[in-house]
Amino acid sequence: MKPMLLGYATPRGVQQMTREEARMLTHVNLAFGLIRDGLLSLSGLPDLRGLRDRLKELNPSLRVVLSIGGWTAGGFSLMSRTEEGRRAFGASVKKALDENALDGVDIDWEYPCSDEAGIDCDPSDRENFTLLLEEMRRAAGKDRIVSIAAGGGDYFVRDTEMDRVAAICDYVQIMTYDLNCFTHTTRHHTSLYAMEGSYPQGNADYCARIFEAAGVPREKMVLGVAFYSRKWTGVKDACHGLLQEAESIGGYGPSYQELRDGYLGKDGFVRYFDDTAKAPWLFDGSTFITYEDEASIQEKCRYVRDKGLRGLMYWEHSCDQSGTLLRALHEGLR
């Protein structure tokens, strides 16, 4: 089976996509539909049909999927608690898929049973997540895609029924980024393996292994690549900044395009590469930036091929207008 290469794209990302880039991809997830009063809202994608048509013009074989949810996007828990709620939501999703000639639906519920993102939650989310996906399959039909974006950690496996979820979905996208950022200790946020001297969780290999143990077949597993960075400031100047205490936590950092334009080899920033974790970082003596580059992507592509995984996906297309990372993904998976 040809490996999948999927890109998440906002409307801005779609408008910036070139024909060459679209033809490197197999799938695009349009981000994001939302939930309002228990039904699908396309307020964030007002020209959904236009976005779909542009992508199909660039690459007629591209599978274009509507992604619903995202960080801080609520409404899932309350809507999914009753059969009536799930059915009404499913009908609104089917209407959007039909009217916009879309190839499927992607559920990005971050995260069942957790209010970490400031959204509604309930202990029943664990079972209702499965029931919601069953409804998505009914609504979409057998010929359309149903997928999810899953958090990269033990918490997501614990709070879902991944064996049942995987049986419903065409594939499971594991967000193997933002893995080590909400801490004052500098670490890689999207590494392939554990870094030496740190805990064994918080890397793509660990995520793949726990999801497989929870019942997700390798051939349905899609790992994530970050087209953006995480940044710590006020970092102790030791060990080139890695595994050091910082004044800040790992907040959202520059996009890869911004790194290319203003950081790489500039203003005292030096690139280092962790050959154990297979991840790069930048350090200027006080600011630590963890990100993906061509070398780390090459390692992830090799991992996907060697382990027989379904493919790779990334967030988000407009973060790299140079096309550098997408070309690295395309070449690596080939």
Active-site residues, by number, are: 110
Residues 6+ apart with CB under 8 A from 155: 111, 114
β-strand partners of 279: 274
Are β-strands 288-290 and 311-315 bridged in parallel, bridged antiparallel, or unpaired?
unpaired
Geometric angle at alpha carbon 249, from 321 and 75, rounded to 5°: 70
224 torsion bin: left (phi>0), alpha (psi -120 to 50), beta (else): beta
Helix, coil or strand: residue 63: strand
Q: How far apart are CA 232 and CA 300, in angstroms?
A: 24
* 252 exposure class (CB count in 10 Å sphere: 0-12, 13-18, 19+): exposed
Q: 316 φ, ψ to 5°?
A: -130, 155
Helix, coil or strand: residue 290: strand
What is the torsional sign of CA 145, 148, 88, 54?
Answer: negative
Give the 3-state DSSP-derived string for 184-212, with helices as H, strands as E and coil as C: CECCCCCCCCCCCCCCCCCCHHHHHHHHH
With beta carbons less than 8 A apart as the criterion, state whether 242 and 280 touch. no
Nearest to 125 by CA among 105, 151, 100, 101: 151
Max CA pair span of the chain:
58
